[in-house]
A and B are shown apart, each in its own frame.
Chain A
Amino acid sequence: MILKKVLTMSAIIALLFPLFAQTLLAGDMTGREIIDRSNALENVQDMEAEMRMEIIRDDRVREREMIMYSLQAEDGTEKSLIRFLSPADVRESGFLNISYADGEDESWLYLPALGRERRMSSEERGGDFMGSDFTNEDMTRTIDDYEYELLGTREINGREVYEVESLPLTDEIAEQVEFARKITYIDAEHLYLHKEETYNERDEKIKELTTDNVTEITDELHLPLKMIMRDLENDGKTIISYEEIEVNTGLTADDFTTRALTRPLR
């Protein structure tokens, strides 16, 4: 039982608040600059959110609820902490990830049954995020591992969007992340994600991510509160909904320690 949970949750790597955005004056930006500036954590110091994930397979729906905290430190280190609220068999479990500016990661898992935190391997980029249709890489894009090209602009749902192509820099990275390229559609005004398509090495579209419920978090930050990932190969669907998002709440490094990871939930 414990090992099963460890195995399942070891697939969670650094769940940061993925991509998705700030308000900018859209000038002549490159594909890389658009992706950089659409990373929400580039624009705030910390974030706190409650999230619900629905994993849909045929007629079955499994729900996971969690609370997530994220911090961008001044030295470029990104820290994230997840605590699971439900279902009951994973309640109080948690995951801590620290991603250093030099690209190194370290991760700890907390399972109440173990009675302590447990250092985990942080090399599972292509694995499923908690058995969902998102991969760890979907949630925690390592921006430096890709080259980007701005393909142009187009209109989606009445809004102008940038169309950016991402290609893994090396074959090794492509093998790890298990895709050949992505096309990302980013709002030209507020730089939040509209849609993302994932292609395999045969250039077949294998996944499609769409977003909804775009909300103004601050004057400068707009985020979609709903993300729908469809796996076109196995007909699976996962919906992630952010219930509440707060930014710049004053979180500090002390909130991202193994001590914080094992503290009982309120």
Chain B
Amino acid sequence: MQDSRNLTKLKQVALVLIISLALTLISTFQTSALSLGGQLDLNIDYSRETDTFDAGGTLGIDMSSWAGDNIHLRTGLNLDFTEDRVTADIDEANLTYFGQDVDIILGWQKITWGAVDNNSPVDNLNPRDLSDPFSEDNKISVPAIRTAYFHSEIDFDLVWQPYAVGWNLPGITAEMPERTIENSVAGIRAGYSAPAFDLAASYFRGVAAEPAAIISETGEVEGLEHFREQVIGAEMVYEYSGVILRADLALAIPEEGEFYPENELRYAATLESNITPDLLMMLGIQGSNEIDQDSENTAVVSLNYLYDFYTEISLGFGYGINEGDFIINPEFSRDLADGLELKIGAYYFNGEAGPYGQFSDQDQLYLSLSQSF
């Protein structure tokens, strides 16, 4: 919690610094006009377990501007409100220098690695905020210096975070290690693109944002800890005859210690294809396998049908292969006007344990309105 408060204060300081710098650059370089945009989301959820309705929403505001031809400044603010509280946090606040072959991004940012869209095992630089497990955008921005180099079909990405930021898990606390250079986070990724496929390899070293359980010799969970680890990753995207395969593979190697877990293989792959021009199907599998241990896998299927330009009907299904648990997520969405979207849907969980069964008391119906501006 202390880390969380410090993080917010640091972000506030960073926002003030970046806005000050932006104003200086704007006056110096005759920048482009300030671009202002955002989104207002209003939600009503009905919980089957408690027979209650919850209302809330989020206001996201993004501001950006160019200073000269090469410098871009961006800040984002999120305001979350529920029936009894309002919280504010800075989403991203960074400055980007666009060079001839190099881009440098400095500040709070979100960095996406991996071929699959969600939960890629090689996407380890940003922690997740699981205070709302149903949120589509749950990445927490991190302070970092990112340098991207581009040469023909090859690109390199080099990231350094001065300190690690942990996942936000409701009701669970795991102390972050001391903020030292040794505990900083670094990653490098090299990508190659060719007709019909993309390949990438990556290396991550630092404190894992996701805490792991400390298991005693008797097999009991003694607590949670952010282990230092290395992750060697590989990514691939391949298109053949209208079918897209996306696959990520990662080998996580925790640094040695008394209670540290074993090396672990993590993987995720999806196949997607338009069955008709209006119907997209995605099949996926993801899981992990501690070396010499049983694997834990989930399979997902989603169908998205575009009824017309304004209306989409989707059905998501996830299945925990080990526990036999599952989730069903039907959803109807309609654009009521340009930028105004209505969504109505439901989450139904089934099972005693596993990735979906653990939420079996959180079945819900939801309705949301989103207005972009």
Name A's B-contacting residues (CB within 8 A): 1-4, 6-8, 10-11, 55, 57, 62-63, 86-89, 91, 98, 100, 104, 106, 113-116, 118-124, 126-128, 131-132, 257-259, 263-266
Contacts and interface: CB of A to CB of B under 8 A. Distances in A.
Contacts of A265: 35
A12 B312 CA distance: 17
16 contacts: A1-B333, A3-B314, A7-B304, A10-B274, A62-B338, A86-B338, A87-B339, A88-B39, A91-B372, A106-B239, A119-B244, A121-B242, A121-B274, A122-B239, A131-B309, A264-B64
Interface string B80-108: 00000000000000001010000100000
Interface in B123-147: 136-137
A177 B188 CA distance: 44
Contacts of B333: 1, 4
Contacts of B341: 1, 89
Interface string B154-180: 010000000000000000000000000
A152 B339 CA distance: 47
B372 A3 contact: no
A113 B41 CA distance: 15
B308 A131 contact: yes
Given A121-B244, A128-B277, A88 B198 contact: no
A142 B314 CA distance: 32
Interface string B230-248: 0000000101011110000
Contact of A87 (B64, B277, B338): B338
A157 B74 CA distance: 52
Nearest to B194: A106
Contacts of A2: 117, 136
Contacts of B338: 62-63, 86-89
Given A11-B277, A106-B195, A115-B110, A88 B339 contact: yes
B196 interface: yes
Nearest to A115: B112
B224 to A, nearest CB: 28
A55 B309 contact: yes
A127 B98 contact: no
B150 interface: yes
B198 A119 contact: yes
A10 B372 contact: no
Nearest to B243: A121
B64 A121 contact: no
A120 B237 CA distance: 10
Contacts of A258: 193
- The range of chain B's interface size is 35 or more
B32 interface: yes
A63 to B, nearest CB: 7
A249 to B, nearest CB: 16
A12 to B, nearest CB: 12
Contacts of A6: 280
B309 A1 contact: no
B155 A119 contact: no
B370 interface: yes
Interface of B: 32, 35, 37, 39, 64, 66, 72, 74, 96, 98, 103, 110-112, 117, 136-137, 148, 150, 155, 193, 195-196, 198, 237, 239, 241-244, 272-274, 277-278, 280, 302, 304, 306, 308-309, 312, 314, 333, 338-339, 341, 343, 370, 372-373
B64 to A, nearest CB: 6
A88 B373 contact: yes
Contacts, number: 107
B242 A116 contact: no
B32 to A, nearest CB: 5
B277 A127 contact: yes
Nearest to A263: B98
A4 B304 contact: yes
A98 B194 CA distance: 11
Contacts of B96: 264
Given A115-B111, A121-B242, 5 more contacts: A6-B280, A7-B312, A63-B338, A119-B237, A264-B74
Nearest to B193: A258
A7 B306 contact: yes
- The CB with the most chain A CB atoms within 10 A, among B103, B312, B338, is that of B338
Contacts of B243: 121
Contacts of B35: 265
Contacts of A132: 309
Contact of B273 (A11, A121, A127): A121
A124 B372 contact: no
Nearest to A91: B37
- The CB with the most chain A CB atoms within 10 A, among B150, B241, B309, is that of B309
10 residue pairs, one from A and one from B, having the closest CB atoms: A131-B309, A127-B277, A123-B242, A89-B372, A88-B372, A87-B338, A115-B112, A88-B339, A116-B112, A87-B339
Contacts of B237: 119
A100 B195 CA distance: 9
Nearest to B246: A119
B62 to A, nearest CB: 9
Contacts of B343: 1
A100 B304 CA distance: 30
Contacts of B112: 114-116
B196 A106 contact: yes
A87 B373 CA distance: 8
Contacts of A86: 338
A98 to B, nearest CB: 8
B372 A104 contact: no
A85 to B, nearest CB: 11
B117 A114 contact: yes
Contacts of B241: 123
B150 A257 contact: yes
Contacts of A11: 277
